[in-house]
Amino acid sequence: MNLTGTYRKYGTKILIIPIIAFAVFAYLAFVYPGISYGIDFRGGVMVSFSSSQPVPADKIAERIRSELGVSDVSVTPTVIPGTGRYGGFVEAVYPEGVASEANIPGTAVLSAGDVNATNMTEEFKRKIVQIIKEEVPDASDMVVRDVAPTLGSTFWGLALNMLLWAVVLLKMVVLVAFRRRLSLAKVFGVIFLDIIIAAAVGRGMGQPAIALALILLDTLLLMTASADATPTIIMLGSAVFDALGMLALMALFHVPLTLQTMTILLMMVGYSIDTDIVLSTHLLKRGKEEGDEYERAGRAADTGLHMSGTTLVSMLFILGVGYLTRNPDVIRVGSVMIFGVLSDVIITWLFNAPVMIAWVRKHASSA
Amino acid sequence: MHPLLKNWKVRVLIGALLLSVVIIAVKGIQLGVDFSGGTVLIFRFDRPLTPDEMQQAVQIISQRVNWTGLASVDVRGWGDQYVFVELSTSDPREIEYMKESILRQGKFETVVDGNVVLTGDEIVAVKPATYTPLTQGYKWQLPFVLSPEGVKDFYTGVHGKCDAAGNCKYTFMYIDRPVNAILLIPPDVAEEENMLSSLPALDAPERDIPLSEFITNAGVRAFVTDENFDIDNILELNAPLVILHPEDNRFIPFLEEHNIPYRVVPPEEGMSWVWRATNLRSIVRLTPSVTNTDPEHATNTLLITGWAKNRKEAEQRVEELSIILRSGALPAGIRLESEQSVPSTYGQYAFWTFLAAMFASMIAVSLYIAWRYRVWKISGPIILTIFSEILLIFGFAALINWKIDVASMIGMIASTGTGVDDQIVITDEILHGKTGEESKKERGILKRIRNAFFIVFATAGALGFSMIPVFFSNIPALTGFALTTIVGILVGITITRPAFAEIIRYTVGRRE
């Protein structure tokens, strides 16, 4: 697909599409349906199994809801292609009672209370397995996993820390690779500041969200200090958009945020930089002899879209394996990867490209 | 010689591949619980531990699960408050037993002639051990302190247990002695372990302690399950537990039918089964210096002395004993926070599905690229590159004994799948000069490759760097993913992609 003509004809008018997309994504991710958090972060039980007959998902969900008092339960039936076998996975978040019994940070847990807490979660897990066995008598290959709420909150803290460092490191790579005429002193000054902020949060000083905001803020300051930083800032902005796009699609398709999906989110943000780099290399590092800005951007899009195409092909295979092995984690991982590629295509070729073309043209004419 | 084989980048690739194959052949690929089947338990201490305490806790937990003798285990600390325990079993009964033995504090008892002479409550402290090098091997000494009651009970209990010739009795140390349990011993085991030494190894020299002494001290009622044995007889004995050898599995239906609790203890190669079955931890011979002492005038410190081949062995033995003397107590309260079991049949199925998908994805991607450039010749190099990357990642995993789990496999597919991007960039850069009509000014292929590699390095940097924090998070479910992604990227930019560029250059060059 060649986008040269499109870029030439519509120019920055194309931006309306990603701007609308941004609003829609923000709505999906934060308002409705909103991002859901998996048992990794909230504590709960997950069971996957296979059987020779279709799984009565609604019935199982209803029984878990009414008999165990769980409001947050999902039962997903699956068909294992080509085998004539069925499967399902059940995920239930611990209800308040169980969670609070097992989750009292700071209280003494040594003796009897400890045993009770363990028993309540054990009992909860046992009942879920029992309900599944009653509804699906020949359920086999059962994989059971449970996470206590305390462990969940530990995982959550860790995941936020991970996110923060990934953002700092990504920023570093992009700033160093595309610093152009920016002085190294400025680049390393900003990176040093970011590292201090991230390290402070890691030691329990300050909130990760505030740190993230600070890290984005100093980037904007860098942009005001130097016009040369603009392409880099655009690249980093697109990483934020990419993450938002993935979160929105995850919310829309009920893919919860878990340890694994969070990791994939980070990976896909790293990956999305790929296409941005292809675009900026074509626009910034190539001369007029390779065509004007529109042609160079069009050619970059040609390469970039094929990159996304091939990535999509291998991601579809991951998704396929997920269904074949009835592994909910793998299905989620595959889905998030595909979401990542999709939102990357929107942001890179419909937002970054027209903005960068305009910037290069303005810069070239003023120079 | 084929001209490509003269290129050093191609030679490096071939060398790395051969090395990988050798490493995999020698060391083998280890599979994680996801694929081999098994259980992962996550425990949490009720307070953060110091690094020393954590190390000690990991050792104690390893010992507790190893004592159960049920399955191979891998125990490791995570952060300052968590411990991961990986078991190779997914049998609910065995897992239940393991969990119980980890969560419960063991009961320490020292027994002589069937009488308890010392319990865990009577040991006040275990002091640091001393080591003395000898002309051959090492001597170690482990002192421990008794409470006043302990001093009295112990010296009274062991008084006169050495004869005039200096032949002394043995003390048997147990954690959770199965008192009153019924021990069913298969005839061949009874014969093999008729005489045992003071070490658990069956090939230990000086087998001079009769089996009967083991039975008496353990406080169990033992039966040899030969043709004269009638299982009905145990009904009247009202035993709290029946301990079985797997050879006697035929009695299980009977025990289940009569609701008698039982435990199957599998044998371990070269080790005494009776030791394991009775929870015996150590045997220490008494000396006249203790047995002849008047309890009224005894000191409160006892000393265990032993000999080992080398310092390491000595330290190991001391570590084991001090854990036993402390009743295997953990430094802080502990509870179970997460459990995941994977049946082994499912694990195998998952592994082969993943492998098949990986190859299918490889072929699909290369066909797609070949179709996109309409140059079928390049699909060969692309398949070769992806395949090489996967082989090199497996080789690296085998080298560092990394266990391949679902996360590692996804990482492999992801890093090779995104790695294809780089191959597209390289191919594009090289083919661009040939097919782009708009560019009349040919530039050297070499320059284009340099261009391509700037992109390759920058993109690899971005992806790889985003995975570094994940790797250091140390969460087992994620580190595999981060590791294979980072290794995939590294072998990609340093080994496979430079070779790919050369091969493509050669293929395209010949097209001219």
The full DSSP string for B3-39 is: GGGGSHHHHHHHHHHHHHHHHHHHH-PEE-HHHH-EE
**Whole-angstrom distance, CA of residue B460 vs CA of residue B457:** 5
Write out the H or E segment, with its range, that includes residue A356.
Answer: helix A353-366
Q: In what order do the strands lie in the sheet with A140-147?
A: A73-80, A85-93, A44-51, A140-147, B334-342, B38-45, B82-87, B73-78
**φ and ψ at B281, to 5 degrees?**
-110, -30
Question: How is residue A80 annotated by DSSP?
Answer: E
Contacts of B444 in chain A (CB under 8 A): none
The answer to whether residue B331 is domain-embedded is: no
Contact B365/A314 with Cβ under 8 angstroms? yes
The answer to whether residue B206 is domain-embedded is: yes
Specify whether B211 is located in the same domain as B226: yes
pLDDT for the residue B446: 63
Last residue of a domain, one of B298, B325, B352: B325
B223 vs A106, residue with greater confidence: B223
Write out the H or E segment, with its range, that includes residue B212.
Answer: helix B211-218
| Cross-chain residue pair A259–B441, CB shorter than 8 Å | no
Distance spanning both ends of chain A, measured CA to CA: 32
Q: B208, B212, B240, B217: which is closest to B118 by C-alpha?
A: B217
Percent over 90 (pLDDT), chain A: 9
Specify whether B116 is located in the same domain as B83: no
Specify whether B222 is located in the same domain as B259: yes
The answer to whether residue B248 is domain-embedded is: yes
pLDDT for the residue A324: 79
Contacts of A125 in chain B (CB under 8 A): 339
Q: A130, A78, A140: which is closest to B345 by C-alpha?
A: A140
How confident is the model over A116-140, as pLDDT tens digits?
Answer: 445 667 778 888 888 999 998 888 8
How confident is the model over B107-148, as pLDDT tens digits?
Answer: 888 898 889 988 888 888 888 888 888 777 788 888 888 888
Number of residues that make up chain B: 512
Specify whether B445 is located in the same domain as B491: yes
For residue A66, is pLDDT > 70?
A: yes
Instruction: List the domain range (segments joined by +) for residue B432.
Output: 3-33+343-511
Positive or negative: CA dihedral A355, A361, A364, A365: negative
Specify whether B90 is located in the same domain as B115: no
Residue from the list B342, B410, B464 with its beta carbon closest to the beta carbon of A333: B410
> Is the minimum CB–CB distance between A157 and chain B shorter than 8 Å?
no
CATH 1.20.1640 domain locations along chain A? 4-36+152-366
> With a cut of 50, which residues of chain B have pLDDT below it?
435-442, 511-512
| Cross-chain residue pair B462–A174, CB shorter than 8 Å | yes
C-alpha distances (whole Å) from B393 to each of A237, B449, B483 are 33, 25, 9
Specify whether B178 is located in the same domain as B267: yes
Q: SS3 helix, strand, coil % of chain A, rounded to 5? A: 75, 10, 20
- Give the CATH superfamily of A44-147: ACT domain (3.30.70.260)
Contact B182/B225 with Cβ under 8 angstroms? no
CA of B430 vs chain A CAs: smallest distance (Å): 12
Question: Taking CA A216 as the corner, what is the angle to CA A213 and CA A217, rounded to the nearest 5 degrees?
Answer: 80
**Angle, in degrees to the nearest 10, between helices A259-280 and B406-435:** 10
Residue from the list A151, A278, A303 with its beta carbon closest to the beta carbon of B44: A151
DSSP A287-351: -GGG--HHHHHHHHHHHHHHHHHHHHHHHHHHHHHHHHTT-HHHHHHHHHHHHHHHHHHHIIIII
Cβ neighbours around B371 below 10 Å, total: 11
Going by their DSSP bridges, the two strands B301-308 and B138-146 should be labelled as: antiparallel
Give the residue on B whose Cα is nearest the Cα of A147: B338
Contacts of B451 in chain A (CB under 8 A): 281, 285
Question: Which of B41, B410, B423, B425 is best to mutate for the A interface (most A CBs within 10 A)?
Answer: B410
The token duo for B367 is 């066909």
Query: Maximum CA pair distance of chain B?
Result: 108
Specify whether B278 is located in the same domain as B376: no
Question: Taking CA B358 as the corner, what is the angle to CA B353 and CA B361, rounded to the nearest 5 degrees?
Answer: 120
* Model-level ipTM above the cut of 0.95: no
Tell me the whole-structure pTM to 2 decimals. 0.74
The token duo for B312 is 């390491």
From chain A residues 231-270, the ones with a CB under 8 A of any chain B CB are: 259-260, 263, 266-267, 269-270
Specify whether B62 is located in the same domain as B206: no
Write out the H or E segment, with its range, that includes residue B155.
Answer: helix B148-158
From chain A residues 79-138, the ones with a CB under 8 A of any chain B CB are: 108-111, 114, 117-118, 125
The answer to whether residue B287 is domain-embedded is: yes
**Whole-angstrom distance, CA of residue B311 vs CA of residue B177:** 31
CA of B74 vs chain A CAs: smallest distance (Å): 18
CATH 3.30.70.260 domain locations along chain A? 44-147
Mean per-residue pLDDT over chain A, rounded: 81
Going by their DSSP bridges, the two strands B108-112 and B138-146 should be labelled as: unpaired
Specify whether B128 is located in the same domain as B166: yes
Contacts of residue B248, Cβ cutoff 8 Å, sequence gap at least 6: B184, B186, B225
pLDDT for the residue B358: 80
How many independent structural domains does chain B possess?
3
Residue from the list B341, B349, B364 with its beta carbon closest to the beta carbon of A313: B364
| Cross-chain residue pair B421–A170, CB shorter than 8 Å | no
Q: Tell me: cis bond preceding A256? Omega within 30 of 0 counts.
A: no
**Whole-angstrom distance, CA of residue A334 vs CA of residue A86:** 20
pLDDT for the residue A260: 83
CA of B238 vs chain A CAs: smallest distance (Å): 28
The answer to whether residue B372 is domain-embedded is: yes
Question: Taking CA B85 as the corner, what is the angle to CA A160 and CA A145, rounded to the nearest 5 degrees?
Answer: 65
Q: What is the identity of the amino acid at A12? A: T
| Cross-chain residue pair A278–B368, CB shorter than 8 Å | no
A245 vs B440, residue with greater confidence: A245
Contacts of B492 in chain A (CB under 8 A): none
Specify whether B347 is located in the same domain as B419: yes
Last residue of a domain, one of B262, B292, B325: B325
The answer to whether residue B471 is domain-embedded is: yes
Specify whether B58 is located in the same domain as B15: no
Contacts of residue A56, Cβ cutoff 8 Å, sequence gap at least 6: A135, A136
**Domain A4-36+152-366 fold:** Multidrug efflux transporter AcrB transmembrane fold (1.20.1640)
The answer to whether residue B330 is domain-embedded is: no
Number of residues that make up chain A: 367
Q: What is the identity of the amino acid at A111? A: S
Give the residue on A whose Cα is nearest the Cα of B426: A303
Contacts of residue B187, Cβ cutoff 8 Å, sequence gap at least 6: B224, B225, B226
How confident is the model over A134-172, as pLDDT tens digits?
Answer: 998 888 888 888 888 778 888 888 888 888 888 888 888
Specify whether B67 is located in the same domain as B139: no
B416 vs A105, residue with greater confidence: B416
The answer to whether residue B334 is domain-embedded is: no
**Whole-angstrom distance, CA of residue A344 vs CA of residue B324:** 59
